[in-house]
Amino acid sequence: MKQKLALVTGAGRGIGLETARLFLEHNIKTILVDIDEIQLDKAMEELNDELAISFVCDVTDEEKVNKLCNHILKEYGTVDILVNNAGIFRCDRGPFSNSISEHWRKKIDCNIYGTLYFTRALINPMIKQKYGSIINLSSITATLGAVGMVDYTLTKGAIKSFTKSLSKEVALNNVRVNSVSPGNIEPDNRYPEMSYMNRSGSYRECAQVIYFLASDEASFVTGEDYVVAGGRKKI
């Protein structure tokens, strides 16, 4: 059987790195993409796996994304699994009336356009081979809303809508498109009171859901949003 090839953006740390680790544990050749070369090198050193490949790329740069994806397709063949994880979260945490438009643009460029660029560049070979799984990272805030995070929640709501529509467009080609909406995912268990389980989620717990959606165990799942939030009760 052909060995699967996965690509994870924002893979230098956090959910992206843990997702890459889980793919590698299941013998999936995995391409890690991140804008931070130093962090990406640390991730590669930590993983220490011959199936791991890394590329530095700014997901907001359409030309660079297309160039990278063309190289990957030529060198390694079709990407079977795409995880659009790269994103900007940091918020001004103030009223929208005082928000800074440049901050909107940065989040929109990374969270929305980065997802669009990579998906468009890699989806046609998936359609041609009639196999593929795309997982987009949204957020529980896209459903619940959040004070002081209007621009961020806007971008994550867009990702949910994009996922729903694209899944319908490519379903007959056996290309599945789903999203994952994390809640409070923190390595040091900050803000445990935000979940009914009274704890934060781990990167691993979120990565396991992403892996499930990428795997053939989820072969009849598409157009869905999986919430990983421990019964999130407030923002």
Active site residue ranges: 152
Contacts with 38 (C-beta within 8 Å, 6 or more apart), sequence order: none
d(CA 114, CA 83): 11
Residue with tokens 């989820």: 218
d(CA 148, CA 135): 27
d(CA 203, CA 77): 29
Residue with tokens 């795997």: 215
d(CA 132, CA 123): 8
Is the four-CA dihedral 157, 8, 79, 133 of positive or negative sign? negative
Strand order in the sheet with 52-56: 52-56, 29-34, 5-9, 81-84, 132-137, 175-182, 225-228
